[in-house]
Structure 1
Amino acid sequence: MQQIGSFIPNFATTQMDKNINYMKRFFCTALLSMLLNCIMFPVSVLAADNVSYTVTMRKEPNNTTWTNEQEEPEGRRIPPKPIYCTVSHEGISVAGLSEEIITYEVWNETSEICLASFNEEQEFLDFLFNQSGEFQIAFVTENYCISGYISI
């Protein structure tokens, strides 16, 4: 009988030690995960600045370029292929554009009022990303005007 009595307290102590160790591990894991979340939070806030917008644009002859109407084809049967533009804080990328952009413009959503016009890409981006709402953006080259709508 004495062996059974001495065995029970050892078993209970061992089980209690296991429970305490389990609780310590759980507490340390929870504390570590909270600490990592606190450290990573500022990084996720900074990552939000790397937002990019893909804008479907259309390419039209520039109004300043004179063309003879008789030389134009009689009409188009299908709409022109859209041009895709990526706008981000780092810069602008227009797919298939080989000409240099001369002017960057921001218009209101009805295309009635030019809100701003820039010769430099970074000035355009700084202005655009300080706005909110829907705008028409236009890039003017020597021969074409490329325009589309963006919601920020």
Structure 2
Amino acid sequence: MSIQNIDVKYTAVATAENGRDGRVASDDGKLDVVVNPPKEMGGSGAGTNPEQLFAAGYSACFQGALGVVARREKADISGSTVTAKVGIGANGEGGFGLEVELTASIPNVDAATAQSLVEKAHEVCPYSNATRGNIKVDLKVA
């Protein structure tokens, strides 16, 4: 797979202090959060964690991609939601890996249309394009 060349329209900038047990802030001050490992990974669970931030970004981005596809297909996705579950664990090679489950609820279309929209959104979404072939991403329709 070759590296994609893109025409960059926006660049987000965030800086972390003390890794998973510290703080993350964006350069514009709109994001400033305490991060802590979850209790399941031996942390305090007091703050958010990188996986929650990734889940938030992926679900929002995928919902946007769903909107792009719905406009093209003239489908009504009003009232729809996308939930991302991001799992982290040992990869068996001395490091860690992620996996994602995306569940879309699209109440105003039939099941076959919803499935088609989700699959097409997966082709459009920048997060999906960035992770394709690197991590397991399961698509579901609620």
TM-score (norm 2): 0.26
Would you tell me which structure has more helix in proportion to its own residues? Answer: 1
Q: Could you say which structure has the greater relative contact order, defined with CA pairs below 8 angstroms and 6 or more residues apart?
A: 1
Q: Computing the radius of gyration over CA atoms, which structure comes out larger, 1 or 2? A: 1
